[in-house]
Amino acid sequence: MRTFRIEVAAAWLIIGGTFLCGQASASPRTYETKHHTINVEEMAGGLNHPWSLAFLPGGDMLVTERRGRLYRIDAQSFRKQEVAGVPDVAHGGQGGLLDIVVDPEFSANRTVYFSYSEPGSGGRKGTAVAAARFDAGPNGPVLRKLKVIFRQAPKTATSQHFGSRIVVADDGTLFITLGERGRSEQAQDLGTHLGKVVRINKDGSIPPDNPFRSVKGALPAIYSYGHRNPQGAALDPQTGLLWTLSHGARGGDEINQPKPGKNYGWPVISHGRHYSGEKIGVGTSAPDMEQPVHYWDPSIAPSGLAFYSGNLFSKWKGNLFVGALKDQLISRLELSGGRVVGEERLLTGKYGRIRDIRQGPDGAIWFLTDRARGGLYRIVPAPG
């Protein structure tokens, strides 16, 4: 029989722009899983709809809030400081300040990349990606030398399906996942960025080997297309290949391995149905359209994707971890030969909507909960 103690809410004090947090939880909660007994502990609370987590060298963390705030969280005290220099964001619906990643050469260049819904004219907005220098600063952390390196075209007045995960590839290019903004048919149109995975260089230029660079009428940044709303992306540490996950409608959440120039089908094919219950497109398959590596029906509303390569959980090495919003769980997927061969659902209904999941530098698994008083949580092996 599993037992745990109830967590105690954190108390917050604000001093000189630094948020000081008392102990976030009185004790970790302990759970049995198929292979490991785990402890789950809230490390920082009071986060307003946090969206993304990234680790700096040394273990400090960067956390975005959808409303447009960025925090550095100290790895030892778990105090959080707001980072200055964040641009204005179009906060509303699913839009706001979204993903953040740290350049692999951060120690030399101090560069971070982040995505956000950028305001436009007439209430329009679109996913943008900026690069900036992260400095500690004498008065607190700040983003400097900010440069927008990508803008989704066109901007739209809709407030959903921004996609918006960023991955730094092994060759130094950036993959960016983009939702179709509720305009399903645009996912098949190579003249827009809607419903695409794009690939750019770190300065925003287009790699010479992008698949549509020389195709008339196609936007040269496009890498793959036919995606609905991809809110998870990660590189397989063994192969260096990109994996993404995307929201379906009523069922049909997908994990894909996007390949250059390939079409992933939305809205022509899907393993789900419209919210009305009506059939989507022509069914589940069509010529020249790719099948997902894995799909969920009914939908779990996945967000956040991470491969596990650490040493704390020996039996989870090589597994894929997915956060879920609607079903409020973490899906642990076992892989073999690039295919999903098993699933275990963890923490179902225990912590609410899970927006992001990452492996920490020490091999712990970290996740963010998407709510008005969301939290940063850590999963470690239970003692004994």
- pLDDT at res. 15: 37
Q: What is the band of 8 on the pLDDT scale with cuts at 50, 70, 90?
A: very low
Amino acid occupying residue 247: H
The answer, yes or no, to whether residue 11 has pLDDT greater than 50, is no
Average pLDDT over residues 351-374: 97
Among 184, 148, 180, smallest CA distance to 164 is for 180
The answer, yes or no, to whether residue 359 has pLDDT greater than 80, is yes
Does the pTM surpass 0.75? The reply is yes
> Half-sphere exposure (CA, 13 Å, Cβ side) for 241?
10
- pLDDT at res. 278: 94
193 is catalytic: no
Of residues 35, 36, 49, 161, which has the active-site annotation? 161
- pLDDT at res. 138: 87
The answer, yes or no, to whether residue 4 has pLDDT greater than 70, is no
The answer, yes or no, to whether residue 98 has pLDDT greater than 60, is yes
- Residue ranges and CATH numbers for the domains of the chain are 46-301 (2.120.10.30)
Cα–Cα distance for residue pair 127/139, rounded to 1 Å: 30
pLDDT one-digit tens code per residue, 19-66? 444 345 558 999 999 999 999 999 999 999 999 999 999 999 999 999
pLDDT one-digit tens code per residue, 159-189? 999 999 999 999 999 999 999 999 999 999 9
Is the CA virtual torsion 338, 343, 346, 349 positive or negative? positive
Question: Concatenated DSSP letters for 179-225?
Answer: --TT-GGGGG-TTS-TTEEEEE-TTSPPPTT-TTTTSTTS-TTEEEE
Cα–Cα distance for residue pair 80/180, rounded to 1 Å: 34
- pLDDT at res. 376: 98
